[in-house]
Amino acid sequence: MITRSSVPADLAGIASRTLEHYERSAESFRAGTWDHDVTQNIEALLRALEGPPPLAILDLGCGPGRDLRAFARRGHLAVGLEGAARFAQMARAHSGCEVWEQDFLALDLPAGRFDGVFANASLFHVPSAALPRVLRELHAALKPRGVLFSSNPRGNGEEGWADGRYGVYHDLESWRRHVTGAGFEEVEHYYRPAGEPRERQPWLASVWRRP
């Protein structure tokens, strides 16, 4: 188990400051994102999963619980993971699901527990120095043939602070290197929102399988 005290001080500070931003803005964030339609992303994960429902799904960075509730309503065994305490409270209340309070740099995940991990707009907060370890931990938490979905704001490798949050803005090639380096195989990728020219598609979504 990695504890906050064992995370290098600079990385722990990044996590703390980013989570503090979300704690302060929890109500406005929920109001501004609750009605966002991410059905395309939910269906991309579910399409790649193998086996009949109910399937065990970890919503990584579940925020106030919008997508966690969607998975539960589809009959799956959904568990949320959230580092911001206020978001975790909201997610439990709105979804009725179990929510683990952990930040991404101090994960404590059971091995081989999940059929799928849904990381919607969350993994881009992981500093590049810590990303290989975090991806390996997610790989280990999946069952064989399990699936990781990620959606991140794309860029050209920029990394740093923006609006009180730390982010890394990967292009497809760098994201592929990271995720395949952790032992995943690519299933598909696409850009969002659908139907727009590439310059108006700021999100890179991708689906990966643990062999």
**Sheet strands side by side (includes 203-209):** 98-101, 77-82, 56-60, 114-120, 142-153, 203-209, 185-192
Radius of gyration of the chain (CA): 16
* pLDDT-based confidence at residue 5 (cuts at 50, 70, 90): very low
What's the pLDDT at 12?
Answer: 86
Q: For residue 30, how many other CB atoms are within 10 A of its CB?
A: 18
Cβ-in-10-Å burial (0-12, 13-18, 19+) of 138 comes to buried
What's the pLDDT at 10?
Answer: 86
Q: What is the mean pLDDT of the chain?
A: 94
Q: Which CATH number fits domain 4-209: 1.10.287.3510, 3.40.50.1820, 3.40.50.920, 3.40.50.150?
A: 3.40.50.150
- On the question of pLDDT at 175 being above 50, the answer is yes
Residue-wise pLDDT for 25-71, tens only, equals 989 989 989 889 999 999 999 999 999 999 999 999 999 999 999 99
List, as one string, the DSSP characters of 119-156. EES-GGGS-TTTHHHHHHHHHHHEEEEEEEEEEEE--S
What's the pLDDT at 159?
Answer: 93
* pLDDT-based confidence at residue 87 (cuts at 50, 70, 90): very high
Q: Higher model confidence: residue 7 or residue 18?
A: 18
The pTM score is 0.94
* pLDDT-based confidence at residue 203 (cuts at 50, 70, 90): very high
Q: For residue 43, how many other CB atoms are within 10 A of its CB?
A: 12
* pLDDT-based confidence at residue 3 (cuts at 50, 70, 90): very low
Segment holding 18, helix H or strand E: helix 9-24
- On the question of pLDDT at 8 being above 80, the answer is no
- On the question of pLDDT at 2 being above 80, the answer is no
**Six-digit token string for 79:** 């568990």
Cβ-in-10-Å burial (0-12, 13-18, 19+) of 52 comes to exposed
Contact 60, 117 (CB under 8 A): yes
Q: What's the CA gap between 21 and 205, in Å, rounded?
A: 24
Q: For residue 11, how many other CB atoms are within 10 A of its CB?
A: 17
What's the pLDDT at 9?
Answer: 54
